[in-house]
Each structure stands twice: as C-alpha cells, then as structure tokens.
Amino acid sequence: MKLPSPRGPVSDAVIAALVQAPHDFTAGEPDSDDDLHLTLFVLYELHYRGWDGVDDTWEWHPALLGLRARLEARFEATLRELPVPEATDDVPHALIAMTRETGGPSLSGYIRGRATREQFREFATHRSVYHLREADPHTFAIPRLAGPAKAALIEVQIDEYGGGVTHRMHQEMFKDTMTALGLDTTYGAYVDVVPWQTLANNNLMSLFGLHRRLRGALLGHLAAYEMTSTGPNRSYGNGLRRLGGDAAATRFYDEHVEADAVHEQIAAFDMCGSFCAAEPELAADVLFGARCVLTMEDRWAEYVLSRWAAGESSLRS
C-alpha cells in the first residue's frame, strides 16, 4: 500500500520519517481530526500489511510507539465520554438492547431505495478500507482468550475467512463487488480519499485489537458488528440489485445476510457471554466497545447522508 498524502503537521512528520531508515524523531500535536486519524491509521497499518518502501523495523520503533501512545490517549479520551449502560450480569441481553436502539440515520434504507450508482460507488469506497482486510483486526483477540469465548470467536472468524477457501473469504468477495462497480481493488487504494470519519472507524478496531487491556472492548465491537449486520446488508444487496448489480456483485452482501444471522447469536451469547462469565470485571468493557462502534457508525452515516443531501460527494477531492 502506498503511503497517503499528509493532512497536517503530525501526519506530515510521520510520513516523511517512514520513507527514511528508522531513526529518532519528534512530532507535535495534530491540528485536526484529519491529521489525528490519518496519523493513527498510518501507524496502525505497520501492524497489518505495511507500507510500500517502508522498513518493517519501524513497526516497533520507540519513537513511533511513543507518538502512537499519545495519539491513542487523545482518541480514547473522546471515546470514554460516550454514555455506556451500567455493568450487568446479563451482557448478552444488554448487547441485544443496545443494538436494537433506533434513532440514528438509516444509510442502509437510503441505499436500498434512493442511492444513485455513483453514491453506491462512494459507499463501497468508504467500506473498502475495512472490507479488504475484513476480520483481521478482531483476529488479534484470539491468543488473548481461552475456553468457550475463544472457540466462539474462532467459529465466527472461520466463516469470515471462508473456511480456508480463498474465493469464499469475505475480503475476496468484496473485490467482486468493487470490480462490478468499476473500483480499484488494490488494498488501501482509497485511503487518500476517505474522510477522517472513515479512518476513525477503522482506527477504533485497531485500538481495541492491539491492546490486550481492551480485549473486552474488541469483543463488544465485534458483537455489535455482527448483531447489526443482517438487515443493513440485505438493504445493501437489494440496493445494488436495483442499480443493476448481478449475483457476483451482490454475493458479498447476500453472504452476510445468511452468515451474520447465525453469528449474532454466537457473538452475543457464546463469545461475549462466556467471556464475561470468565472475566466478569471486564463486562463493562464489552458494553463500552459496543457503544463505541454503534455511535461512530451512526456519526459516519450521518456525515455521508448530509453530504449527499447537499448534493456533494462524501469523499475527499
């Protein structure tokens, strides 16, 4: 993946440093959400597939880790301001209640019935940042769990990775959707054009995934994803069919309608329920992770819909 263009002083300093041999350097404070979240995304990607022309030993360089810790503290502080239900002995049903809350903007409803083909292409462009590495952030939790919670997470992840069959991996299925829409399927091709809200949603997963102390939040994040997937993906698939998408184009969404109807039960009860039974002191973290993703997804959808309502693109020019 090619390094993106900087969006402020901190991302500028980091990107300029990464194209050189690893060395000590300093960076100030981000001057915008764009600068903050692009910098975090660039730093997090070192733990995934890396950047073209960047020395892999940067991954654990003390200068980058110190900077990342400062930026993560700033990001997490904003997340901790979100209202979270009180800890409970019945986390699965608390998750069900949270994911059934209504009132946020219905991006899926708009895409099902009103979106133009160009707007669907924009939607897929936003989502490509995650879907081309779908499931990878949550896999960080596997070695941090044991017993039934670990088994349940692996059961979900096996489906995400297509049972070991390449063309059934959700990452690969999404490439078919992108191809049908005339989009570039290169990993990370659209990092430069998505707004900070999209990067923040991806950074949330990495923040939770790369810190063992936040393993409960990562499970809550995954559970909320799975428990709010079936209806929206049915709408996305139907919206794409309305716009002329064939079976290959909609397979990604249709697969999620079927798979996630099962995953939501596994995630809520077998994964989160078992985890909280084993580590009850982390039950609040599970609910925190779910609240974070639900709120941030709503805010992202509101941003996209507001740009479309104004007759503008939701992407950066």
pLDDT in tens, the chain (317 residues): 999 999 999 999 999 999 999 999 999 999 999 999 999 999 999 999 999 999 999 999 999 999 999 999 999 999 999 998 887 899 999 999 999 987 667 999 999 999 999 999 999 999 999 999 999 999 999 999 999 999 999 999 999 999 999 999 999 999 999 999 999 999 999 999 999 999 999 999 999 999 999 999 999 999 999 999 999 999 999 999 999 999 999 999 999 998 878 899 999 999 999 999 999 999 999 999 999 999 999 999 999 999 999 999 999 98
Alpha helices in the chain (DSSP H): 9-18, 33-45, 62-79, 91-99, 107-113, 117-131, 136-139, 147-160, 170-180, 196-209, 215-227, 230-242, 247-265, 274-278, 283-309
Helix 283-309 vs helix 196-209: crossing angle, to nearest 10: 170
Q: What is the pLDDT of residue 75?
A: 98
Q: What is the pLDDT of residue 68?
A: 98
Residue from 71, 66, 24, 199 nearest 125 by CA: 199
Using DSSP's 3-state secondary structure scheme, residue 252 falls into helix
Q: What is the pLDDT of residue 148?
A: 98
Q: What is the pLDDT of residue 262?
A: 87
Q: What is the pLDDT of residue 259?
A: 81
What does DSSP assign to residue 272?
I
Q: What is the pLDDT of residue 258?
A: 84
Alpha-carbon distance values, 155 to 124, 139, 151, 158, 260 (Å)? 27, 11, 6, 5, 12
Q: Which residues does 276 contact at the CB level (< 8 Å), separation at least 6?
A: 91, 216, 282, 283, 286
